[in-house]
Amino acid sequence: MTGTSHNWSQRLVNWARMKSPWITIFNSGGCNACDIEILACLIPRFDIERFGILAKGSPRHADILIVTGPATLKQATRLRRVWEQMPEPKYVIAMGACGAGGGVFHGLYHVSESVDAIIPVDVFVAGCPPRPDEVINAVVTCLGLLAEDIAHGGKGWRQKKVVEHPDTMPHGEVQV
């Protein structure tokens, strides 16, 4: 492992995390196409379990949260609660065009701007829906981020600095 300051038990935990990331799937109001693509990851054709990627039922067991669909305002509270239940270090994959910016639901009265407006997203996957191999690639990208985060000792090194612009507030709300 890259980190040298960790003790042996921490190194063991990190090794296990890198070898077997556990994912959980949360549909925040999508059309289920992304969910079907994730199911395609689990069936024998793609079979992500041979890479050690396990789909878990509870967010308390998971390292990576895959959010499918746009975040509706009703699901926003639930999505936030699911994300808060996950133990650190946790990573979020926003799947599809909807997760990135609303997709075809963009601008509707009940849809928030993006998943990123509710929980911090680490990886966006493009596509409507993305192919299963792109989902696997996103999980592997999260593992790369995990390795770098261990080396840097936290997630702080890749957080953007919040620029206070006089006209706009951070999340697109217009200041009066």
Partner 1 sequence: MTDPLTEDVVAGTMSTFGTVEHVRKNRFRITTTPDQIRDAVKTVHAALSCDRLVTISTADTRQAFELHYHFTGQHRTLVTVTIAIPRDAPELPTMSDLLLPAGIYERQIHDLFGIVFTGHPDLARILLNEDWPENEHPLRKDWKPDGKTFYGGTPPEGR
Of 113 and 134, nearer to partner 1 (C-beta) is: 113
Min dist CB 149 to partner 1, Å, is 16
When the beta carbons of 24 and 112 are compared against partner 1, the nearer one is 112
Residue 58 Cβ vs partner 1, minimum distance, rounded to whole Å: 21
Query: CA 116, CA 171: separation in Å to the nearest integer?
Result: 10
Nearer to partner 1, 43 or 108 (CB): 108
Which residue number, 60 or 171, has a Cβ lying nearer to partner 1? Answer: 171
Supply 133's token pair.
């191999």
Our CB check for partner 1 shows the closer of 11 and 106 to be 106
Query: Which residues are near partner 1 by CB under 8 A?
Result: 71-74, 76-77, 79-80, 109-110, 112, 117-118, 120, 170-171, 173-174, 176
Spatial separation of the C-alpha atoms in residues 143 and 7, rounded to whole Å: 21
Least gap, CB of 47 to partner 1 (angstroms): 35
Nearer to partner 1, 1 or 108 (CB): 108
Instruction: Give min distance, CB of 95 to partner 1, in A.
Output: 19
- In the sheet where 54-55 sits, what is the strand order? 54-55, 22-27, 64-68, 91-95, 123-125
Rounded to the nearest 10 degrees, how much is the dihedral formed by the CA atoms of 33, 38, 41, 43? Answer: -80
Residue 57: C-alpha distances to residues 63, 113, 152 (Å):
12, 27, 30
Tell me the sheet residues that pair with 95.
68, 125
Rounded least distance, CB 175 to partner 1, Å: 10
Residue 169 CB, nearest approach to partner 1 (Å): 11
Distance CA 158, CA 152 (A): 10
Residues 62, 22: Cα–Cα separation, whole Å: 5
